[in-house]
């Protein structure tokens, strides 16, 4: 099947699925916490008074992200998402992956050796580029 034919089928199926009102259907956007996270080193564990706590060390925040709006800061350690423990940065990503923009997510973290918590409204992940820019290539 040629790329042109595939494109024509895609346009036809989209036109058939388009609502009669003419409004553009909105698909759920992936969520965006907006943190740069790393594993906890031995030095960071002592400096941040973490004891044996595990989690994802926040090393940076993305301007305008959900984490910044919720009050997280660099050197916070995220220890749980929606009550489920977070052992490290990979698990943080896995716990957040099912969420969509607009979801409310409970985040617990440690700051200066003390527990903190907030309900975070997940913001939409920004587009790096149009997802259809390479269509047919």
* 21 pLDDT above the threshold of 80: no
Instruction: Map out the domains of the chain as residue ranges.
Output: 31-124
DSSP 3-state of 1: coil
> For the chain, what is the radius of gyration of the CA atoms?
20
* 116 pLDDT above the threshold of 60: yes
CATH number listed for the domain at residues 31-124: 2.30.42.10
Q: How many CA atoms lie within 13 A of 109 on its CB side?
A: 26
Reported as a pLDDT band with limits 50, 70 and 90, residue 118 is very high
User: Which is higher by pLDDT, 126 or 115?
Assistant: 115
């Amino acid at each position: 099947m040629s790329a042109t034919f595939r494109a024509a089928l895609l346009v036809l199926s989209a036109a058939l699925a388009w609502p009669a009102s003419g409004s553009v259907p909105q698909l759920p956007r992936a969520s965006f916490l907006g943190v740069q996270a790393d594993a906890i080193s031995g030095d960071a564990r002592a400096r941040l008074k973490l004891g044996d706590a595990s989690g994802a060390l926040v090393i940076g925040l993305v301007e305008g992200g959900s984490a910044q709006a919720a009050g997280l800061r660099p050197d916070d350690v995220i220890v749980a998402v929606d009550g489920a423990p977070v052992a490290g940065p990979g698990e943080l990503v896995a716990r957040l992956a099912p969420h969509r923009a607009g979801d409310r997510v409970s985040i617990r973290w440690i700051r200066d050796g003390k527990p903190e918590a907030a309900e975070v409204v997940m913001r939409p992940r920004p587009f790096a580029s149009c997802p259809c820019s390479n269509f047919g290539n």
